[in-house]
Every structure is written in structure tokens, then in C-alpha cells.
Amino acid sequence: MLLWGSLRSFADGRAEVEVEASTFKEVLDRLAEAYPGLRPQIARGVSMALDGRVYREAWFAPIKPDSEVVLMPYMQGG
């Protein structure tokens, strides 16, 4: 999955990381385990783009083996 730039310093400088997960929640849990420095950002809130579709907070959104997964800041609007 892709991380946005300012998170990379908490993931050994990598823009792309691999975790074993089949749902949004599992991604967050595995990321927090593998990269504890990401925990504060995850706690503040993140969105996730799965194959271009943006999810906010949807723990059980399923991830297919070939899905494109991009972590994004929690989306806000007006």
C-alpha cells in the first residue's frame, strides 16, 4: 500500500509498504504493529482509497489481493 509523504519517516522512509490484511481495520492494525510511529496519525484519523474509492472509518471494507490501497488523511469538507 502507498503512504503519503509525511508518513514515510515513520515507515523506514518507504513510500510503499506491505501488510497482510483483508479489511481496512486489519490494514490499520498491521500498520500500527509494524510501524508504531504511525499510531498517532491513525488515532487522529485516516481515510483509505481502495481501487480509487475513498473510505472513511469503514473497518470492514474488503480488500482484494490485487487492490490498490492508498492511505490518505481523514477527508474534511464544507
Partner 1 sequence: MALDSNGKRVFKVVGTRPARPDGVDKVTGRALYGADVSAPGMLVGRILRSPHAHARIVSIDTSAAEAMQGVKAVITSRDFAVVEDASTRDVQVNCMADGKALYDGHAVAAVAATSAAVAKAALKAIKVIYEVLPHVTDVDAAMKAGSPVVQASRAVENVPKGFSENVTHHCEFGHGDVAAGFAKADKIVSRSFKTAATHQGYIEPHACLASMTSDGKADLWCCTQGQFNVRSLCASIMGMEASQLRVTASEIGGGFGGKTTVFIEPVALALSKKAGRPVKVVMTRDEVFKATGPTVSTSIDVKIGMTKDGRITAAEAHMRYSGGAFPCGTVDMGAMAGFAAYDLPAVRTYGWNALTNRPKEAAYRAPGAPQAIYAVESVVDELCQVLKLDPLDVRLLNAARKGTQSSYGPVFDDIGLVATLEAAKAHPHYHAPLGAGQARGLSCGFWFNFGGNTCVSLNVNTDGTVGVTEGNPDIGGSRASISLMAAEELGIPYDRIRTIIADTASLGHNDVTDGSRVTFSVGLATIKAAQDAIRKMCGRAAKIWGIDEEAVEWIDGAAVPAGPNAGKFPPMSLAEIAAVSFQTGGPIAGHHEFNADGAGVSFGVHLVDLEVDKETGATKILRYTVFQDAGKAVHPAYVEGQMQGGAVQGIGWALNEEYIYGADGRLQNAGFLDYRVPVASDLPMIDTVILEIPNPGHPYGVRGVGETPIVPPLAAISNGVSRATGVRMSELPMSPPRVLKAIMARG
Residue 55: exposure state from Cβ atoms within 10 A (0-12, 13-18, ≥19): middle
Pairing of strands 69-73, 53-56: unpaired
Among 9, 22, 34, 64, binds partner 1 (CB under 8 A): 9
Closer CB to partner 1, 30 or 56, in the complex: 56
44 is a site residue for partner 1 (CB under 8 A): yes
6 is a site residue for partner 1 (CB under 8 A): yes
33 is a site residue for partner 1 (CB under 8 A): no
Nearest-angstrom CA–CA distance, 49 and 4: 12
46 is a site residue for partner 1 (CB under 8 A): no
For CA atoms 21, 4, 52, 77, the dihedral sign is positive
Which residues would be at the binding site for partner 1 (CB under 8 A)?
A: 2, 4-10, 15, 37, 40-41, 44, 47, 49, 51-58, 61, 68, 70-78
